[in-house]
Structure 1
């Protein structure tokens, strides 16, 4: 089978996902089972993988899915617990008296609080929490949604306490083979993953600090009475201050602690810095800005559905420190579990390990429920039950709402993650071919050569667009991106040899 045909077959599942999800508008719960079936068929008949290995890869994907769902459940459960305890209502109330300037409100609530919710919960919750909060404070619904969507940028790679890295890359790369090479060069997998975390944090920080500027300028230009860029520019000093207040601790925690922390602690520290500064008027524009009266808004700014803060419990006043305490506990316990060798060893020592699934060498998996962020989040939920003097019925309601989200996400992931594991594990086959991601990578490296890095970010964006999830995009495309980089590295090293004068040579990748 030619390399071009291999690459086409290997790319077919991703292409089918794009056609079904984007072209035909199929819901993911219909599209991903079809994509999984196609992947399994290509593995069995194109790559001649044994049925036992395909089944073992599927089971491995199912175990990984449980890890993902455990984190999602913990993150969403804490959010819903605070909703029913009155915590979110108290946090909302705390934002209402900071500044009457809508630009300042947008920066603090949409940017900093939105980034915090992304770091703590991920999976679309910033738009679900921050946008209705803005609407309740008098923002047009369309403007609130736009700001909520713009938050889905800098904090996303470390959203839901680092899930895109912890799961997306951990399970999206062929960690076994990479670890062998790392050990041979005096390193290990944990250091390699931390290096990726550091690079991602630095790259996002270098660009992310400008996001609040774009947010306020878009808001004043398209939703202001005067449709003015200039009115947005007046808030640039404060917006840059807020951007740096988030991205500097974001980058430092990524460098020093790990993937669980940049978005969570970056936003928490940013809020602690920016909110008091705004209250005393630091860098706040002298002239306050507001939207035109609501009666003058175009109908399309609101739509036909009224957005409300459904279910935010106002049952009793809750002190602001109590409302924030659960998230502070999450941050503290996560740091402690990652920097304390004894605690880390204890929590990881309670992991459940599968061994070689169905006897397939190298196809193993493990779950450490107490070490994963999900375990810490659930523990904090139990503490919150007592700290906020909740009723049992309120906790039951939070668990019920979170479970519904879990089942919805779980059904799709139970097909998506096994599909990814089949792709990665396809390197062991009867046709003696490289794994599917490596086949795609080799073809791309040979075809595009040194210009490919120019398109790498677009490939990642495509994955997120198709999957609707940074975590799933990382799982689908990480091994492919790694393979292209490795192939291009081999080409570069080959051309540095004294006996190779042909700059177009690609034989080293064959």
Structure 2
């Protein structure tokens, strides 16, 4: 009964948001009430605890809205300054094929941004860029969410591993004893290498899957096969990222796999794409905008482009704000003294022990990607010699879009925080663990020796709830290790199970509710979040099943699992191809 009740908030979200496709602000409002009532009257959490979790959620939501505003502001500044015209022409000169463009912008550029910043920044930057290139708003969001999988475990310069997994395995006596004489630091590096391998084996096909989804849901023919026709280039682009990504993870650690993979991938793929390397004979483009489904469109105004008019700027000049953003993100995350200042007491607003509970929160606006985006937007005024009226329009329209997104985020994030902090107080008789922990414990009891198949799902559940691979790893890394130990796996194989947790947590970012809400907000796609999750849920399912099969092969060494790991992608892509139909929702 308790397992079902703990599942109830997730079921409410799935039914209202994904099945019934109600707006996020409605779905998450109902889910918040259900979660709060369960926490108060079933889990017997105190009113102060629920209130503190809710306030913490509001603070997190405000920080997300800050990023949303800043991302839209940068896009609007580039539009008003005339840079978007040059960027669009530059990408069209590389290739007019939308499949090529989505691989370059979402897979490679998005992975580079994820490696430097994480925390939803790839969607905040990449989705508006795809929109400006002429992609439907919903396609832009879907693409950027799907790539928030492989690079995420090493996003924000390795934070999901260095903070998430580390907090789960550090200072645990049973782990220290099991891995002796190996140090916990070296054990983490072993887990990092495992994560890099599993992600690489799954992730090299993500660009191909991305193209299939693009043509399946947004092409004139609604054909998955149309996306598969670019398979030589897509797999090549997948390997250009995953090979250096894995090598860095295995030999250098968690800080730079996604950064290096994205950078090397771009350096190889961009010039070769411009030369037509491995390009298909046909060129894929969307139908005329007048024929698009109304659900694909956001509230941002349509951009009109006359390709006969030469851009005012070169591609490098026009794209330079994004290069500055990446440079500043890397500098503020890698230079230790600067990072310490930006995250220190002088630049942090602390909310400690809210309402007398152990729940605390903080605002680090100086370290937020939002402040960098705003700084670069201000620099862009000078770069593109904008007048006062253009600047005023960019700020005004950005504020309007941000305010429209606020209700959904201000309801979804508090719901998540109440769910995570729903554990009973210690003095309560028969106290219950927090809802996500109870769900994970129930799953471990049910699956036993098949646990590596389930482990990525637990990671994905954590990310779906929390909107963060880091938080998912913090919640479940030690639980995963303990479960692995209980089913008889040694420390080396338990490290593989923890790696599966991190991989699943990365994949769960595709459907994390407040990630989806924020990504929709930056392209003006409010109230269509459920439509997006219906698509990204399919991609996430593919990812975690494949990771689980590979995990079973690595841990138990049975050929059957490796054969299934080869068959599953073929079967999945085949099913998607055979079910391509007209008028797909």
TM-score, normalised on structure 2? 0.64
Encode CA deviations 1:308-329: one digit per residue, 9 max, x unaligned.
9824688961122111211111
Residue in structure 2 matched with residue 318 of structure 1 by the alignment: 313
1:345 aligns with 2:340: yes
How far apart are the structure 2 equivalents of 1:410 and 1:182?
A: 44
How far apart are the structure 2 equivalents of 1:18 and 1:130?
A: 27
How far apart are the structure 2 equivalents of 1:342 and 1:205?
A: 33
Residue in structure 2 matched with residue 130 of structure 1 by the alignment: 130
For 2:365, which of 338, 361, 369 is the aligned residue? 369
How far apart are the structure 1 equivalents of 2:226 and 2:61?
A: 48
Residue in structure 2 matched with residue 277 of structure 1 by the alignment: 272
Residue in structure 1 matched with residue 326 of structure 2 by the alignment: 331
Q: Secondary structure at the match of 1:416?
A: helix
How far apart are the structure 1 equivalents of 2:138 and 2:52?
A: 42
Work out whether residues 193 and 246 of structure 2, in 8 Å CA contact, stay in contact via their aligned partners in 1. yes
How far apart are the structure 1 equivalents of 2:490 and 2:273?
A: 57
Q: Secondary structure at the match of 2:35?
A: helix
Residue in structure 2 matched with residue 153 of structure 1 by the alignment: 146
Check 1:84–1:168 CA distance in 2 against 1; reply closer, same or farther (3 A cut): farther
1:87 aligns with 2:86: no
1:108 aligns with 2:104: no
The answer for unaligned runs of 5 or more in structure 2 is 114-120, 177-182, 492-585
Encode CA deviations 1:72-130: one digit per residue, 9 max, x unaligned.
3333322232222222221111122335xx6xx34431211233664555448756643
Larger radius of gyration: 1
Encode CA deviations 1:215-273: one digit per residue, 9 max, x unaligned.
66788999799x9969965x5443333333344455577786978x7767755553443
How far apart are the structure 2 equivalents of 1:436 and 1:12?
A: 10
1:434 aligns with 2:433: yes
Residue in structure 2 matched with residue 354 of structure 1 by the alignment: 351
Work out whether residues 68 and 163 of structure 1, in 8 Å CA contact, stay in contact via their aligned partners in 2. no
Check 1:77–1:168 CA distance in 2 against 1; reply closer, same or farther (3 A cut): farther
For 1:388, which of 384, 388, 391 is the aligned residue? 384
Encode CA deviations 1:185-239: one digit per residue, 9 max, x unaligned.
6769xx97x99887666544433333444566788999799x9969965x54433
Encode CA deviations 1:147-184: one digit per residue, 9 max, x unaligned.
9845642345658x9589969997xx899887764999
Residue in structure 2 matched with residue 44 of structure 1 by the alignment: 40
How far apart are the structure 2 equivalents of 1:301 and 1:251?
A: 42
Work out whether residues 158 and 164 of structure 1, in 8 Å CA contact, stay in contact via their aligned partners in 2. no
Q: For residue 46 of structure 1, report the CA deviation from its aligned partner.
A: 0.8
Residue in structure 2 matched with residue 30 of structure 1 by the alignment: 26
Check 1:343–1:475 CA distance in 2 against 1; reply closer, same or farther (3 A cut): closer
Residue in structure 2 matched with residue 422 of structure 1 by the alignment: 418
Check 1:479–1:22 CA distance in 2 against 1; reply closer, same or farther (3 A cut): farther
Alignment RMSD: 4.7
How far apart are the structure 1 equivalents of 2:12 and 2:215?
A: 40
Q: For residue 353 of structure 1, report the CA deviation from its aligned partner.
A: 1.2
Work out whether residues 73 and 402 of structure 1, in 8 Å CA contact, stay in contact via their aligned partners in 2. yes
Work out whether residues 213 and 227 of structure 2, in 8 Å CA contact, stay in contact via their aligned partners in 1. no
Residue in structure 2 matched with residue 504 of structure 1 by the alignment: none
Q: Secondary structure at the match of 1:97?
A: helix
How far apart are the structure 1 equivalents of 2:296 and 2:438?
A: 50
Count of residues paired in the alignment = 462
Q: Secondary structure at the match of 1:353?
A: strand
Work out whether residues 110 and 147 of structure 2, in 8 Å CA contact, stay in contact via their aligned partners in 1. no
Q: For residue 283 of structure 1, report the CA deviation from its aligned partner.
A: 4.4
Q: Secondary structure at the match of 2:87?
A: helix
Q: For residue 402 of structure 1, report the CA deviation from its aligned partner.
A: 2.7
Q: For residue 409 of structure 1, report the CA deviation from its aligned partner.
A: 3.3
Q: For residue 32 of structure 1, report the CA deviation from its aligned partner.
A: 0.9
Encode CA deviations 1:284-326: one digit per residue, 9 max, x unaligned.
56xx43469x9xx899975589989824688961122111211
1:289 aligns with 2:282: yes
Q: For residue 133 of structure 1, report the CA deviation from its aligned partner.
A: 2.9
Check 1:354–1:419 CA distance in 2 against 1; reply closer, same or farther (3 A cut): same
Encode CA deviations 1:334-366: one digit per residue, 9 max, x unaligned.
1111221211111112111112112213x1112
How far apart are the structure 2 equivalents of 1:97 and 1:291?
A: 15
TM-score, normalised on structure 1? 0.72
Q: Which moved more, 1:206-215 or 1:65-74?
A: 206-215
